[in-house]
């Protein structure tokens, strides 16, 4: 997957330069892209792409979290835990992929888009940091989705797959809602609304910090619930 997302990043970065001339004549497209931030159409285009990548990476995290549910339903969890492996170790082992996997993928796409776009504009030093921060800035929202999955699995495992609907709702509110003009209180329900709109905008640390806090608190709640409930056989 790393290779595919790297190729995707190279394609986006190389095509972003000059896209303003191709899309600038369309007021509808320009207005839609401006919803994602950026001081130019090129930057808004990259920010919109990073927003989509954030959702794709969140889907990867959802799949990793739901492997816990699949293994428990198949009876594998009971077998593994009967060997002396602690619940927290088993849970944490799976969550490493759900937490660190998205970080790796966003790092790859941020680097490839930033380097190729910076090369095209002749300003790698100026473009790479902003694009990279824009990519990694999606992580806190992804981690909130991951934490909700842990909470569902820990507290109400039979409804763990509802996590897909949760992600879909966040996308409808955050990505689609901003384009169609939903009221801000509705948009604020999605963690993806609060990630930095980079490149081209200022980096606000407070929303990122709050997303991380929410992810940690909800995740700990999921861990605690899992420790206390029985394993489904």
Would you give per-residue pLDDT tens digits along the chain (233 residues)? 677 888 888 888 888 777 655 555 555 555 555 666 666 778 888 888 898 999 999 999 999 999 998 988 888 888 888 888 888 889 888 888 899 999 999 999 999 999 998 888 888 888 899 899 999 999 999 999 999 999 999 999 989 999 999 999 998 887 777 767 778 888 889 999 898 888 877 778 899 999 999 999 999 999 999 888 887 66
CB 199 within 8 A of CB 131: yes
Residue 144 CA neighbour count, 13 Å, CB half: 24
- At residue 84, the pLDDT reads 81
Q: DSSP 3-state helix, strand, coil percentages of the chain (rounded to 5)?
A: 80, 0, 20
Considering the domain boundaries, does residue 45 fall inside one? yes
If you ran DSSP here, which 8-state letter would residue 78 be given?
H
- pTM of the entire predicted model: 0.88
What is the domain count for the chain? 1
- At residue 29, the pLDDT reads 55
**What is the Cα–Cα distance from 170 to 180, expressed in whole angstroms?**
14
- At residue 167, the pLDDT reads 96
**What is the Cα–Cα distance from 61 to 153, expressed in whole angstroms?**
14
**What is the Cα–Cα distance from 147 to 112, expressed in whole angstroms?**
28
Give me the phi and psi of 18, to 5 degrees please.
95, -5
Q: What is the token pair recorded at 174?
A: 């955050």
CB 144 within 8 A of CB 211: yes
Burial (Cβ within 10 Å: 0-12, 13-18, ≥19) of residue 158: exposed
Considering the domain boundaries, does residue 233 fall inside one? no
- At residue 142, the pLDDT reads 96
- At residue 186, the pLDDT reads 85
**What is the Cα–Cα distance from 151 to 217, expressed in whole angstroms?**
10
Considering the domain boundaries, does residue 57 fall inside one? yes
> Virtual CA dihedral for 45, 51, 53, 59, nearest 10 degrees?
-160
Considering the domain boundaries, does residue 40 fall inside one? yes
Distant-in-sequence, close-in-space partners of 72: CB < 8 Å, separation ≥ 6:
78, 157, 231, 232
Which helix (H) or strand (E) segment holds residue 154: the answer is: helix 139-155
How many angstroms from the chain centroid is the CA of residue 157? 23
Give the domain extent around 18: 2-228
Q: What stretches of 126-225 adopt beta strand conformation (E)?
A: none
**What is the Cα–Cα distance from 199 to 123, expressed in whole angstroms?**
13
**What is the Cα–Cα distance from 45 to 61, expressed in whole angstroms?**
24
């Amino acid at each position: 997957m790393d290779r595919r997302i790297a190729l995707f990043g190279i394609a986006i970065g190389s095509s972003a330069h000059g896209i303003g001339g191709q899309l600038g004549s369309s007021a509808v497209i320009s207005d839609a892209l401006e919803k994602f931030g950026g001081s130019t159409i090129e930057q808004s285009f990259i920010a919109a792409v990073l927003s989509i990548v954030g959702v794709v990476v969140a889907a990867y995290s959802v799949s990793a979290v739901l492997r816990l549910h699949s293994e428990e339903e198949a009876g594998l969890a009971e077998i593994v835990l009967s060997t002396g492996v602690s619940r927290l170790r088993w849970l944490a082992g799976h969550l490493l992929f759900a937490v660190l996997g998205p970080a790796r993928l966003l790092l790859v796409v941020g680097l490839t888009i930033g380097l190729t776009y910076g090369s095209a504009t002749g300003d790698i030093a100026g473009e790479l940091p902003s694009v990279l921060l824009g990519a990694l800035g999606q992580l806190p929202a992804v981690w909130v989705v991951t934490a909700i999955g842990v909470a569902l699995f820990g507290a109400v495992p039979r409804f763990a797959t509802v996590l897909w609907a949760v992600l879909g709702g966040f996308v409808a509110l955050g990505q689609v809602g901003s384009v169609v003009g939903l009221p801000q209180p509705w948009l604020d329900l999605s963690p993806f609304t609060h990630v930095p709109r980079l490149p081209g905008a200022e980096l606000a640390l407070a929303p990122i910090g709050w997303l991380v806090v929410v992810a940690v608190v909800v995740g700990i709640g999921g861990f605690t619930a899992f420790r206390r409930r029985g394993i489904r056989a």
